[in-house]
């Protein structure tokens, strides 16, 4: 009998920040820098802006519980690099709000359109790029461009920081960002289910039942753990379950085979760690 433990080491967190309708270049951005944080550890969350005054009036809520206005942080003035990619667009949304553009390199083509907005020709774009709103750049002429390049820029240095202790007791967690009492952002953090199991002292395990001499999977074997029927093994000789950490009694039986508690093999107990 072989056992596989399917629990990973760290939780997985995903988030979706969203923006207000029509806000193509937000002046503030909600950012979670690290999603590989263990259960019970602190995960920082940041609201980022190029102008400190843009951060005024925000309060973060974890569901119905206020996390307060957060703590102001000023980051070093460091250059950030991103890939610019235009595909019939007149602006490109950057990862962070930007303070200023350092340089843009690459070859860009502008589209030439008729009055029906049909593309009829192209030409090399020779103009400059400008900052558009809080976190986008585009051609100063607002032409629709094609092509890829690299932008170097100074991101917003001003941040508000909140700390959330990663809660693995359940899967879904909702957050609401309010400005002057009105919800302007909402996002969800999803904790990996395997890690919720790990945090509660349980493990998701897969029992693989193999024939002793040939090591071939035993299909259709009935498996009981601590007297409870788990079911029959599949085509791979496997059956899965959730067990507490510790030692458990296992009983395996199938017509034509000696039951596991009657053979001479030590296979009637498993230890889950």
pLDDT tens, position by position, 178-236: 999 998 888 888 877 565 565 666 666 778 888 877 778 888 888 888 888 888 888 77
What is the average pLDDT across 247-269? 78
Residue 7 has pLDDT above 50, yes or no: no
201-272 fold: Immunoglobulin-like (2.60.40)
Is residue 98 a contact partner of residue 50, using CB atoms and an 8 Å limit? Answer: yes
Residue 210: the pLDDT is 81
Model confidence, pTM: 0.62
Domain boundaries, the chain: 10-75+157-192, 80-155, 201-272
Res 5 pLDDT > 50? no
Maximum mean pLDDT: which of 21-25, 123-127, 266-270: 123-127
State pLDDT tens for residues 9-35. Answer: 344 555 444 444 345 578 888 888 766
For residue 176, pLDDT over 50 is answered with yes
Query: Do the domains at 10-75+157-192 and 201-272 have one common CATH topology?
Result: yes
Confidence of residue 143 (pLDDT cuts 50, 70, 90): very high
Mean pLDDT of all residues belonging to the chain: 82
Write down the pLDDT at residue 266: 66
pLDDT tens sequence across 30-73? 888 766 677 777 889 999 999 999 999 999 999 999 999 999 99
Please state which architecture CATH assigns to domain 10-75+157-192. Answer: Sandwich (2.60)
For 163, the token pair is: 């700390």
Instruction: Give residue 9's pLDDT.
Output: 30
The residues near 116 (Cβ < 8 Å, ≥ 6 apart) are: none
pLDDT of 120: 94
Return contacts of 194-198, CB within 8 angstroms, 24+ apart.
194/6, 194/7, 194/8, 195/7, 195/8, 195/10, 195/11, 195/12, 195/39, 195/168, 196/168, 196/169, 196/170, 196/171, 197/7, 197/242, 198/7, 198/39, 198/168
DSSP, residue by residue, 140-183: TT---EEEEEEEEEEE--EEEEEEEE---SSSEEEEEEEETTEE
């Amino acid at each position: 009998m072989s056992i596989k433990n399917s629990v990973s080491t760290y939780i997985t967190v995903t988030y979706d920040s969203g923006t207000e309708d029509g806000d193509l270049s937000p002046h503030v951005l909600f950012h979670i820098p690290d999603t590989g944080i263990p259960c019970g550890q602190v995960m920082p969350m940041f609201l980022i802006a190029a102008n400190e005054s843009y951060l005024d009036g925000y309060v973060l809520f974890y569901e119905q519980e206020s996390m307060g206005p957060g703590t102001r942080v000023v980051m070093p003035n460091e250059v950030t690099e991103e890939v610019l990619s235009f595909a019939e667009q007149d602006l490109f949304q950057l990862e962070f709000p930007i303070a200023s553009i350092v340089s843009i390199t690459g070859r860009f083509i502008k589209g030439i359109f008729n009055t029906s907005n049909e593309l009829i020709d192209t030409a090399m774009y020779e103009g400059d790029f400008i900052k558009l709103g809080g976190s986008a750049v585009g051609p100063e002429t607002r032409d629709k461009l094609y092509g890829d390049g690299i932008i170097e820029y100074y991101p917003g240095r001003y941040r508000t920081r909140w700390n959330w202790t990663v809660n693995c007791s359940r899967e879904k967690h909702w957050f609401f960002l309010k400005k002057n009492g009105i919800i302007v952002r909402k996002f969800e953090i999803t904790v990996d289910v395997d890690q919720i199991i790990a945090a509660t002292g349980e493990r998701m395990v897969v029992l693989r039942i193999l024939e002793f001499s040939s090591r071939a999977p035993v299909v259709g074997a009935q498996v009981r753990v601590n007297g409870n029927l788990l079911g029959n093994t599949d085509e791979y000789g496997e059956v899965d379950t959730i067990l507490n950490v510790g030692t458990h009694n296992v009983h395996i039986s199938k017509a034509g085979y000696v039951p596991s508690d009657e053979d001479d093999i030590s296979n009637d107990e498993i230890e889950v760690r």
